[in-house]
Amino acid sequence: MVTRTAEGRQETAASFAPAPTVPYAIELKGISKSFGPVQANKNIAIKVAKGTIHGIIGENGAGKSTLMSILYGFYKADSGVIEIDGKRVNITDSSSAIAAGIGMVFQHFKLVENFTVLENIILGAEDGPLLRPSLSKARKLLRELSDEYELSVDPDALVENLSVGHQQRVEILKALYRQADILILDEPTGVLTPAEADHLFRILEGLKTQGKTIILITHKLREIMEVTDNVSVMRRGEMVATVKTADSSAEELAELMVGRKVLLQVEKTPAVPQDVVLDIKGLRVVDGHGVERLRGIDLHLRAGEILGIAGVAGNGQTELLEVLGGYMAASGEILMQGAPLDLSGDASDGQTRRARGIAHVPEDRHDEGLILDFPAWENVCFGYHGDPKYQKNALFMDHKAIRDDAKGKIERFDIRPANCDTPAKSFSGGNQQKIVLAREIEREPALLLIGQPTRGVDIGAIEFIHQQIVALRDRGAAILLVSVELDEIMSLSDRIAVMFDGRIMGEKLPQETNERELGLMMAGMSTPQKDA
Amino acid sequence: MSKMPKWADTILIPLFSILLAFFFSGLVIFAIGKDPFNAIMVMIDGAFGSTGGLGYTLYYATNFIFTGLSVAVAYHAGLFNIGSEGQAMLGGLGVALVCLFIPFGHWTIALPVAVIGAALFGGLWALIPAYLQAKRGSHIVITTIMFNFIASALIGYLLTRVLKVPGAMSSETARFPESTHLPTFHEMLAPLGIMFNKNAPANLAFVVALVACVFFWWLIWRTRLGYQIRAYGQSESAAKYAGISPSRIIIITMMISGALAGLMAINNVMGEAERLIDNAVEGAGFIGIAVALMGRNHPVGIILASILFGFLYQGGAELALWEGIPRELVVVIQALVILFTGALDNMVRMPLERLFVALKRKEG
């Protein structure tokens, strides 16, 4: 492992001596943290060698985020020691983490949208009451860094005008400006195209060469295999293994994460498409700022097939789902089983759509799919609360009928904890998704809209959710699948349409395409050169 | 993850808040050279010690139940209705018009019509800000505050120019006919052999308020509309996803809220004054905000909080009368209660939560 350490200041020390005498960049000893009865981190020990890329992988709720929050001073550990460069440090808040040389790039960027890149970089780290000295210092640094690491960003651009990949670079630059030696990235590729992700990895490699230590938190096994030197696997709050990436495999890591063998591939038979269920013609959406979000979408979808919409988040997929769900206004035409849908975007049409057999598992279950403070039973009728089977009479809802329905769904979908009075917010991501899925799938819809079905869902539940989607297809439903996970699109879809900038860039059959081609289309390159 | 058992949230926190408020009130009373323990005894005795005092306490509480429910129903939809004050004023107008211009043979007929008049006027007064919020995005907090001023000016105008009895000195309507008189507690309880003070203003409207509480509970937790209101209040985007029209919920909820505030007039206008006077609401609409906050937007909590504020009003008046403690200081005490139960809720909540987490860990 030390031999893999690249050139840098530490290199001399590293090459003489085995690990014990070289101080690790970070060493955590016996970190424990509880939230009430839940122990999020149990006696975690981890050693991260200087100048390496160290992956931390684990399912949702495995404790990765808690551990990183402790390292960055958002939480205080109940017990345990943090050592940086062999010296014990006491990290009480983010400023002491920064002082200890730790920089963090969050999954959701913390940038001021209407500030320039430079203003964002110095924010909170100004040298004095006047901005000019800090700004010119930052400008100089930016010039150096962009030459060294492909970290080029226009220093005077407004952040809101930058692409997501560039915004992420600003976050990295912010950390470097604060002289971070250790950079923590939390799920950095979630919002990037494959090409942008590759660029990010090149940046990380460059930083590593300069002796920076990088901790990469992700749930994507492929990335771990691609860029990390070592990887630590967390499961249920415990650190179950730390291995050299080169000595491991994706299958082994998946098994370590879940604690049992998992199928990474979806088992399904070829689709038998029937009649056209959904026919979308010339669909356009203009948002409140006058920006065109959908620029003429044409799609059709047949019963018994899964149409996957691939694309980087923010290219119109959300708008497409919301228009189909009935709560975003659009122009154009949508025919559902031959009859047009109301495109006024008045939400009350959602009831009619459900009655016509359109079910919708929304992209964001926290914000849309569930009322988090409602108990599970009140969530199983959400959206279908007007259904006669949930009513006692004209005035009152039939709580007993709803609860009985909820109990049935909890059993059939193996939702845990199996208590319909538990508030939705207290379920894990996978179980929350199962509540939404049970609600929508058990309507036996003619058309299922499903966005990001496995976002924030643990691997064990992913298997189950994928099986349910395929089973619904086999029962004759048309399924529109939107996902930013290319793997998921590739393995579930019978047909793939790629969206970029509000347009469909093209359609492919999964067996006739590959991630590279789709990735190019996702980045806006149409594929006229396709083996012509 | 809930950090505290529910009973601690609903009982312990308000209790601690009140104790803290009383403690600081005690300090204030002590600072002006009076005996705080004596003062609290005077307050309790004045508010609960006689049927006369109790009658006043319950009369005030009735006002606060209506305005508290009004604020709470809007709150369940995530709307902050600051306009209960104005809506209650308009409710008074509705009651006055009904009682003055429709001849009734008996209060049993007058009451349901007056209820409709009060609810309709209060509800329609809330409709305008609701419409502006739903369709034009004007913030409901701002518009409802403004509508309080407009309501006050409107009632003032009507009382001095239109509804005033010609030749009378005061800006008020004529007295309502005797047939619209609502039974007071004295009249209600005398047949049962219970003697209640003749002059106490508590009246049948208290029963109407309790009915309103039951209505509120049913509406919010048992009906489809209530389900939609709560869902919208928790998350607008989820409500839209579920096919719930936000503008419809805003308008309906605000009209219910305005109607509940308007119903207060059954108590203060029809039950007590028996004519519409200027500034009849006397800030009860604003107290309703504190009541709803303290009562956790639940009818039972709202009844308890209303009685507490009724006690503060009545006991405070006694304190001013008998102890020579200035009226302003009584207002200070009321303000401290609002401050501690409402604004400083987290001050009590945080340490309590930490205590419960610590206790739980010890067990586990």
Say yes or no to pLDDT of A2 above 50.
no
Mean pLDDT of the region B48-74: 96
For residue B157, the domain's CATH number is 1.10.3470
pLDDT band at A12 (very low <50, low <70, confident <90, very high): very low
Q: Nearest chain B residue to A35 by CA: give it.
A: B357
Chain A contact present for B222, CB below 8 A: yes
Residue B243 has phi, psi (to 5 degrees) of 80, 25
B335's tokens = 């303000």
Please indicate, yes or no, if residue B237 is contained in any of the structural domains: yes
For the domain bounded by A1-101+181-188+208-257, which CATH number is listed?
3.40.50.300
Tell me how far apart the alpha carbons of residues A102 and A124 are, in angstroms, rounded to a whole number. 15
SS3 B212: helix
pLDDT at residue A5 in the model? 37
pLDDT band at A348 (very low <50, low <70, confident <90, very high): confident
- Whether the CB-CB separation of A48 and A22 falls below 8 Å is answered with no
From chain A, the residues in CB contact with B238 under 8 A are 367-371, 382
Q: Do A327 and B243 touch (CB under 8 A)?
A: yes
Chain B contact present for A39, CB below 8 A: no
Nearest CB to B361 within list A34, A346, A426: A34
Order of all β-strands in the sheet with A87-89: A38-48, A26-35, A79-84, A87-89
From chain A, the residues in CB contact with B218 under 8 A are 396
| C-alpha triplet B274, B277, B279: angle, nearest 5° | 130
Q: How do residues A13-46 score in pLDDT, each as one tens digit?
A: 334 444 456 788 999 999 998 876 778 899 999 9
Q: Nearest chain B residue to A393 by CA: give it.
A: B223
Question: Which CA distances in Å does A157 have to A140, A150, B123?
Answer: 16, 17, 51
pLDDT at residue A16 in the model? 42
Nearest CB to A354 within list B234, B243, B361: B243
Determine the residue among B241, B297, B357, B359 to mutate to test chain A binding: the one whose Cβ has the most chain A Cβ atoms within 10 Å. B241
The number of residues making up chain B comes to: 364
Please indicate, yes or no, if residue B6 is contained in any of the structural domains: no
Q: How do residues A355-371 score in pLDDT, each as one tens digit?
A: 999 999 999 999 999 99
Please, which residues bridge with residue A232 across strands? A56, A242
Tell me how far apart the alpha carbons of residues A263 and A254 are, in angstroms, rounded to a whole number. 9
What angle, rounded to 10 degrees, do the helices at B84-101 and B107-136 form?
140
Instruction: Please state whether beta strands A238-244 and A230-235 pair in parallel, antiparallel, or not at all (unpaired).
Output: antiparallel
Please indicate, yes or no, if residue B311 is contained in any of the structural domains: yes
Chain A contact present for B175, CB below 8 A: no
pLDDT band at B363 (very low <50, low <70, confident <90, very high): low
Q: How far is B222 from chain A (nearest CA, A)?
A: 6
Q: Domain of B231?
A: 45-352
- Whether the CB-CB separation of A184 and A105 falls below 8 Å is answered with yes
Distance of CA A41 to the CA centre of its chain: 22
- Whether the CB-CB separation of B351 and B20 falls below 8 Å is answered with no
Tell me how far apart the alpha carbons of residues A401 and A424 are, in angstroms, rounded to a whole number. 19
User: Could you give the maximum distance between any two Cα atoms of chain B, in Å?
Assistant: 78
pLDDT at residue A264 in the model? 64
SS3 A359: strand
Please indicate, yes or no, if residue B133 is contained in any of the structural domains: yes
Tell me how far apart the alpha carbons of residues A215 and A198 are, in angstroms, rounded to a whole number. 17
Full DSSP string of A29-43: EEEEEEETTEEEEEE
pLDDT at residue A527 in the model? 55
Q: Nearest chain A residue to B227 by CA: give it.
A: A385
B281's tokens = 């609401």
From chain B, the residues in CB contact with A397 under 8 A are 222-224, 227
Mean pLDDT of the region A338-342: 93
Nearest CB to A347 within list B224, B240, B361: B240
| ipTM attached to this prediction | 0.85
Share the mean pLDDT of chain B.
91
Mean pLDDT of the region A150-175: 87
- Whether the CB-CB separation of A428 and A443 falls below 8 Å is answered with no
The number of residues making up chain A comes to: 532
Please indicate, yes or no, if residue B13 is contained in any of the structural domains: no
Question: Which CA distances in Å does A222 have to A189, A227, A253, A485, B64?
Answer: 11, 9, 11, 12, 62
Q: How far is A268 from chain B (nearest CA, A)?
A: 30
Q: How far is B235 from chain A (nearest CA, A)?
A: 7
Tell me how far apart the alpha carbons of residues A21 and B296 are, in angstroms, rounded to a whole number. 60
Q: Nearest chain A residue to B243 by CA: give it.
A: A350
Q: What percent of chain A is modeled with pLDDT above 70?
A: 93
Question: Which CA distances in Å does A338 have to A11, A276, A302?
Answer: 69, 8, 12
- CATH class of this structure's domain A276-366+436-522: alpha beta
Tell me how far apart the alpha carbons of residues A237 and A257 are, in angstroms, rounded to a whole number. 11
Tell me the one-letter amino acid at B216.
F
How many domains are there within chain B? 1
Chain A contact present for B217, CB below 8 A: no
Q: Do A382 and B222 touch (CB under 8 A)?
A: no
Stretch 386-405 of chain A: residues touching chain B, C-beta under 8 Å: 386, 391, 395-397, 399
DSSP B184: B
pLDDT at residue A17 in the model? 40
**What is the distance between the terminal CA atoms of chain B, rounded to a whole angstrom?**
16
Q: Do A374 and B230 touch (CB under 8 A)?
A: yes
Q: How far is B234 from chain A (nearest CA, A)?
A: 7
B38's tokens = 């004596």
Tell me the one-letter amino acid at A361.
V
Q: Nearest chain B residue to A323 by CA: give it.
A: B241
pLDDT at residue A428 in the model? 81
Q: Nearest chain A residue to B217 by CA: give it.
A: A396
**Could you tell me which of B27, B38, B24 has the C-alpha nearest to residue B324?**
B38
Is residue B67 exposed (0-12), middle (13-18) or buried (19+ Cβ within 10 Å)? buried
**Could you tell me which of A492, A449, A473, A444 has the C-alpha nearest to residue A305?**
A473
* Residue ranges covered by each domain of chain A: 1-101+181-188+208-257, 111-180, 276-366+436-522
Please, which residues bridge with residue A481 across strands? A308, A450
Q: How far is A226 from chain B (nearest CA, A)?
A: 37
Residue B286 has phi, psi (to 5 degrees) of -75, -40
Say yes or no to pLDDT of A404 above 50.
yes
Q: How far is A423 from chain B (nearest CA, A)?
A: 9
- Whether the CB-CB separation of B254 and B126 falls below 8 Å is answered with yes
From chain A, the residues in CB contact with B249 under 8 A are none
Nearest CB to A397 within list B2, B227, B234: B227
Q: Do B234 and A382 touch (CB under 8 A)?
A: no
Q: How many cross-chain Cβ pairs, A to B, lie less than 8 Å apart?
A: 88
- Whether the CB-CB separation of A303 and A476 falls below 8 Å is answered with yes
Tell me the one-letter amino acid at B311.
F
Say yes or no to pLDDT of A275 above 90.
yes
Chain B contact present for A37, CB below 8 A: yes
Determine the residue among B2, B135, B240, B352 to mutate to test chain A binding: the one whose Cβ has the most chain A Cβ atoms within 10 Å. B240
SS3 A208: helix
Nearest CB to A350 within list B242, B248, B360: B242
Share the mean pLDDT of chain A.
87
Type and span of the H or E element at A336: strand A331-336
Stretch 287-326 of chain A: residues touching chain B, C-beta under 8 Å: 325-326
Please indicate, yes or no, if residue B116 is contained in any of the structural domains: yes
Please indicate, yes or no, if residue B5 is contained in any of the structural domains: no
Please indicate, yes or no, if residue B299 is contained in any of the structural domains: yes
Nearest CB to A347 within list B218, B235, B243: B243
pLDDT at residue A532 in the model? 34
Omega into A417 within 30° of 0, i.e. cis? yes
Q: Nearest chain A residue to B233 by CA: give it.
A: A371
**Could you tell me which of A188, A111, A224 has the C-alpha nearest to residue A157?**
A111
Tell me how far apart the alpha carbons of residues B81 and B146 are, in angstroms, rounded to a whole number. 11
**Could you tell me which of B166, B97, B86, B160 has the C-alpha nearest to residue B129?**
B86
Nearest CB to A36 within list B1, B234, B245: B1
